[in-house]
Amino acid sequence: ETPWLVVPAAGQGRRMGADRPKQYLPLAGAPVLARTLQRLHLAFPRARLCLCLDPEDGRFDPAWVPFADWRRVPGGAERVDSVVNALMAIAGDAADEDPVLVHDVARPCVTVDDLRRLHAAVVEDPVGALLAAPVADTMKRDDGAGRVRGTEPRAGLWHAQTPQGFPYGLLRRALAAAAEHGVAVTDEASAVEALGMAPRLIGARRDNLKITHPEDLALAELILAAQAA
């Protein structure tokens, strides 16, 4: 059973401060977007892909898509709107129980092994799952003025990564309910959680970095080189 893949890639990546959206910056000789799609394709060569792109995007090149079955979907104002557009676009083809994995274009270092473990968990669990890593640093809360108000216990805290995967019908229902009730969702799992469900945490490698800030690009190159060694 091969999953549906939704890759939101319609962001502007303003925190990078680069001359183009981060998915088009070069990473080890290819655009970030191409690297991320290559990883997904290695794990799921027969998956069907929905790629969310800004309709005004003039940089995208379809030659970067290794999948035989894929479609381009217009991005929305926020990440969640891009994902909802993708889910609507496949409504006629996806069955409610089909697993859908949502993966940020900005995470090119995700490994095939983590992708397959996540997919296996999503196939077996009706409320879905996400890749995540336990928090290693001591967590401080600020007082709003640059000083420490207190230390948060880090036991039981995780960094949420992507992919996050859910049955198609559940994910659509969760995102619709979140929109209706004004629940802020920065990932898919939070929408499912708002329905009172508990997606499974799949312990993932810590090097599934999200390229966000300028220094992340050099780190991602090192990670890819180390993974290939």
Could you say whether residue 78 binds ligand C5P (CB under 6 A)?
yes
- Whichever of 48 and 79 has its CB closer to ligand C5P, that residue is 79
Q: Which residues pair with 53 in a beta bridge?
A: 74
Interaction between residue 106 and ligand C5P (CB under 6 A): yes
Nearer to ligand C5P, 81 or 125 (CB): 81
Q: Which stretch binds ligand C5P (CB under 6 A): 3-11, 119-127, 144-152, 221-229?
A: 3-11
- The distance of closest approach from Cβ of residue 21 to ligand C5P in the complex, given in angstroms and rounded to an integer, is 7
The interface region with ligand C5P, picked from 89-97, 102-110, 134-142, 197-205 by CB under 6 A, is: 102-110
* Min separation Cβ 180 and ligand C5P, Å: 20
Query: How is residue 45 annotated by DSSP?
Result: T
H/E run at residue 49: strand 48-53
- The single residue among 4, 101, 104, 165 that binds ligand C5P, judged by CB under 6 A, is 104
Q: Give the per-residue SS3 of 125-179.
A: CCCCEEEEEECCCCEEEECCCCCEEEEECCCCCEEEEEEEEEEHHHHHHHHHHHH
Using rule CB under 6 A, residue 82 touches ligand C5P: yes
Residues 5-34 that bind ligand C5P (CB under 6 A): 8-11, 13, 23
Query: Of the candidates 39, 41, 72, 79, which one interacts with ligand C5P according to CB under 6 A?
Result: 79
**Closest by CA position to 67, among listed 80, 81, 52, 50:** 50
Q: Which is nearer to ligand C5P, 23 or 161 (CB)?
A: 23
Among 206, 124, 196, CA closest to 165: 124
Rounded CA-CA distance 21/26 in Å is 11
> How many residues make contact with ligand C5P (CB under 6 A)?
18
Q: What string of DSSP letters covers 27-95?
A: ETTEEHHHHHHHHHHHH-TT-EEEEEE-TT-----GGG---SSEEEEE--SSHHHHHHHHHHHTTTT--
- Out of 6, 40, 52, 170, the only residue in the binding site for ligand C5P (CB under 6 A) is 52
Residues that bind ligand C5P (CB under 6 A): 8-11, 13, 23, 52, 75-79, 82, 104-106, 210, 212
